[in-house]
A and B are shown apart, each in its own frame.
Chain A
Amino acid sequence: MSTSAQIPRSSIIWMLLTQFAVMLSHLPRLSWWMIAIWLLCATWRMAMFRGQASYPGLGIRLLLVVLGCGGIAIEFGSLGSLDIAVALLMLAFSLKVIEVKERRDLFIVLFLAYFIVAAAFLFSQSLFFAVYQLACVVFITAALVAMQQTQHDQSSIRSLKTSLKLVAQAIPIMLVFFLVFPRLGPLWAVPDSKGNSSTGMSDNMSPGDIAELSRSPEVAFRVVFEGAIPEREQLYWRATTLSYFDGRTWTANPILQGAAGKQQRQNEKRKGWHTQAQAAATEITLLGKPVRYEINMEPNEQHWVFALPIAAISEDTNRVTSRRKLIATNDLSIKSKDPFYTRSLLSLESYLSYRAEPTMTDRRQRQETALPAKSNPRTRQVAENWYREAGSPEAYINKVLWWFREQDYYYTLKPPKLGRYSIDEFLFDTKMGVCEHYSSAFTFMMRAAGIPARVVIGYQGGEENPFNQSLIIRQYDAHAWAEVWLEGSGWQRFDPTGAVAPERVLYGLEEALSDRSEFMTDSLFSPLRYRNIAWLNGARLRLDALNYNWHKWVINFDSQRQLNVLQALLGNVTPIRMALVMMVTLCSILGLVAISLLRHRVSASVPAETRLYWLFCQRLERLGLERAPGEAPGDYALRVIQQYPHLDSAVSKITGHYQAILYAGDASLQTMKDYRAAVRHFRPKSVAR
């Protein structure tokens, strides 16, 4: 019993712990001075807790606010970005802690903490992060519970237990709402949260770029096929084409990057394709059956969709990926209108055999064969000679590929630096490089011979995850290959890397490297390095499968997916049916919780015979015969029989058994059994039947 109404001390500790946990989830976005302010405030609060410091005066608090806001203004500059909002939120959260005096202040701090948990989800949404965030919610709730305890009864364990119970019981409610709550579009424009992706493709390629990318084991995207996974040699995930060469760097042709015009990609078998070819009229014929697959793109702040060529965008596709507008570009790639700032799931269809741009205008031919005037003279010379010898483009291509195969070219992630005539040096001197060197040299040689050709960048292959039949494509799967235009058959894919290191195409980068130690030198602790340990690899892939489902079912759960799920569950989705389902599930959840809370729980320490006797008394109570406190069973029985003679036999029997067990120590199984049966069947009525 106490009369104190102050904040219990344990809740201050909970508050600081909560703050620590919540701030940690924002650590990547905190600059050093914000961490300093946070730690200063937390330390001060701790000193106040210990009685070593007093509440800071108005001057100090104002100074901290001004310092913080000034810091934010200097660091972020322009107003209105999401980062600024979050930074201000963190600042307020840090500072509020030192002026907590009453319960009301503590409520504000803890609500802020909940809000900061929500804000952290704008930046990261991985499964593990979500689990961490859930733990944060448990902590904050425990702090709320601790705050309600009195100074005398405070117990951190009890706070945590209560909080866990609350969160556990709230989860079913969350699931129901998550499933049925209508997903609306954004109500107004909000600043985009910029992902913190560090690596990824860029829209140009100079020697060394892809080699750099190949060091990273970061996931670029994941794919799940509907049906079997196509052959590995088919898995050329296309980002974009690079058609302009300045002697060293390949860059994209902006015209080809534009949205294809009104003309449709023609499909001989299916009508109704709503797609675009282009102003320059890329004529495409799709052949055979499409493969269908889902791409789960990691945020990379780029527009490319890494599709297999040639992806067709149907109305269907656009409906499924409702939130994102996809565009088919003139160079047979797919782009998204908005960059991928968040993880996104797209459903696509690709026709692996096709005929693209079988005829080409002179202007286009000039574009695709253009080379800088005086670059790489040795290569030009060789190309012209070989083309003359070969006679036809096909023969020439074979000659070049043969050259790559036969000469001792070396596949390495650490190619020597190349100078002004990069292709000359690579082809004839260093002979060491990765895909970019080969594709660049190959394309150059094609163009030098007057054959339209271009470099294609993207990814190749991927790691198969047997647990969900998905492919995981990582940054080190980045690849560059070439496309050559042949009269009549259009653009054809050639991969000179395959000629040098066929393992690269068939098995992936690690197999292709002549020196295995080059693989992932920067990521010593990545689980990918230990793929040879079976169980570890299994666990890693299982986790990845889990993560994939997390993204598919939670992160990308939009209105379309919601409708699909609800239709699968309920059949026809009508508002009434939805409301009904919601009511029924919610009521049953709450009913279960209520039962678990309000059930008259008898402590386990009470022996069974006593509990049975209580039941017996309870039933007699309904007749208005309450057992007085401390009344002996015998006396009670006499009283009952006196009033209701017809119950004599049953009451005597039960009381007799109970007394026998209790006082005479008759613990035989038979007595207990009889006793139990007698009590169970005891249904007293006030009058004899």
Chain B
Amino acid sequence: MNIPDDLHRVNPGDRRKATDTRYRIHWRQRWRQWIDRRLPASREITLNQRNVFIFPTPAGFAFIGFLFIVLLVAINFENSPVYALTFLLFGIFVVSILHTFSNLSGITLTAAHSEPAFTGRDATFHVVLSKRGSRTYQCLQLSWQENTPVWVSLIDKHEEWIALRYRTGPRGYCDPGRLKVETRYPIGLLRAWTWVDLDMQTVVYPHPVAAGHLPHTAMISHDSGHVEQPGSDDFYGLRDYQPGDTIKSVAWKNYAKTGQLSAKQFIDPVDHRLWLRWDDTQGEQEQRLSQLCYWALEAERGHSEYGLDIPSARLSPSRGQHHLHELLRALALYNVVNTRNSFKALDKSGPNSSAGERDVGLATQ
């Protein structure tokens, strides 16, 4: 939906299209303002007459047209039962307005946790649908914008957890926008719907790109997990004396006990924690982030602790899924501003957010 910068260069048709687009953008803005005022964002929304819209579907309009034809038959043939049938069908249409509305009204939508995802993959948002009382709700469709809807019914249960997928865009915060909740039950001639803003947001991690090896790959030994280098600081153990060993290194106490010459062995402790550094990467900002992302995933698969050092954040080395997510999050939010204020507060407190963090390493494969 981009507007061409130089209008004089485009041909007239395109220009009209461009004007159309401009109007559309204008109206879309107006609409957004209006709906934001009418349906403000909230983590929990109960649907009622204030936030549910209702309108005939195309089939509903066809039905009304069809009723006119039946009415014409009744008038022209002066046939009372056909009159009655017309009015009965009209009555069904009118009553179904209430039925369709009541199939949405009274239901409560609650935002649960959301699962982050890598760029271009599906983030999952969990929403709870619940009801009070014994009314039944059937065939509700939940969807983000153009995504295929998820169908839900609440008939015998009082609540239902729904996982809604959303194809993520670029790295940063992912805001799926308003959730469309729609129903055409019972007869499909009317559609009741609402656009609820459940104030849900998640983070989109950069796309991992395999570029170069982990820094200090030699340090990582996958079999033993220990990294050693002969040194002089820490006592490590004894070994048989070999000609050439210094006198100082001979374990005299041991010689006194056993009569055998042994040499004391010392090692230097090695810093085996891994630092993923901004400076070790090359290329543009996004390339660097992608590379760091890849390293983080690799490192988590390895056995050493790893930390992050980028201009905006410094995470001390650690291990585990929680750490990995924190790290990826830092990468995701590098130089990103959150447009949504309410989320930040939640973000900090959010014990929920960790609940959704599953094994991301697997998710990328």
What residues of chain A have their CB less than 8 Å away from a CB belonging to chain B?
A: 1-5, 103-104, 107, 111, 114-115, 117-119, 121-122, 125, 130, 133-134, 137, 141, 144-145, 147-150, 152-153, 158, 162-163, 166-167, 169-174, 177-178, 181, 183-188, 190, 193, 323, 342, 554-558, 590, 593-594, 597-598, 600-603
Contacts and interface: CB of A to CB of B under 8 A. Distances in A.
B59 A107 contact: yes
Interface in B128-178: 132-135, 138-139, 148-153, 155, 160, 162
Contacts of A193: 77
Given A114-B66, A117-B85, A554-B84, A148 B186 contact: yes
A115 B70 CA distance: 7
Contacts of B99: 162, 166, 597
Nearest to B71: A181
B98 A590 contact: yes
A119 B70 CA distance: 9
Contacts of A163: 186
A667 to B, nearest CB: 25
A117 B138 CA distance: 29
B104 to A, nearest CB: 11
Given A114-B70, A177-B87, A122 B82 contact: yes
Given A114-B89, A170-B88, A174-B88, A103 B80 contact: no
Interface in B37-84: 59, 62-63, 66, 69-70, 72-84
Nearest to B66: A111
Q: DSSP majority for the A interface?
A: helix
A148 B81 contact: no
A125 B81 contact: yes
Contact of B151 (A2, A169, A593): A2
13 contacts: A3-B150, A118-B74, A122-B82, A141-B92, A169-B91, A170-B90, A177-B90, A178-B87, A186-B75, A186-B76, A555-B81, A590-B95, A598-B105
Contacts of B186: 144-145, 148, 162-163, 166
Nearest to B132: A600
B80 A556 contact: yes
A331 B185 CA distance: 65
B231 to A, nearest CB: 60
Given A3-B150, A104-B59, A133 B139 contact: no
B188 A137 contact: no
A152 B156 CA distance: 13
Given A107-B62, A114-B89, A150-B151, A602 B134 contact: yes
Contacts of B69: 115
Given A152-B151, A181-B87, A593-B95, 6 more contacts: A1-B152, A2-B150, A107-B62, A111-B63, A166-B95, A170-B89
A597 B139 contact: no
B80 A149 contact: no
A598 B95 contact: no
A117 B82 CA distance: 9
A177 B84 CA distance: 8
B94 interface: yes
A173 B87 CA distance: 7
A623 B89 CA distance: 46
Given A3-B149, A114-B70, A121 B81 contact: yes
Nearest to A179: B87
B102 interface: yes
B63 to A, nearest CB: 7
Given A4-B151, A144-B188, A173 B90 contact: yes
Given A5-B149, A153-B155, A173-B87, A148 B185 contact: yes
Contacts of A600: 106, 132-133
A103 B98 CA distance: 22
A209 to B, nearest CB: 33
A103 B188 contact: yes
A446 B150 CA distance: 91
A171 B78 contact: no
B184 interface: yes
Chain A CB within 10 A, most for which of B66, B85, B138 = B85
A368 to B, nearest CB: 40
Contacts of A118: 70, 73-74, 82, 85-86
A170 B148 CA distance: 34
A4 B148 CA distance: 9
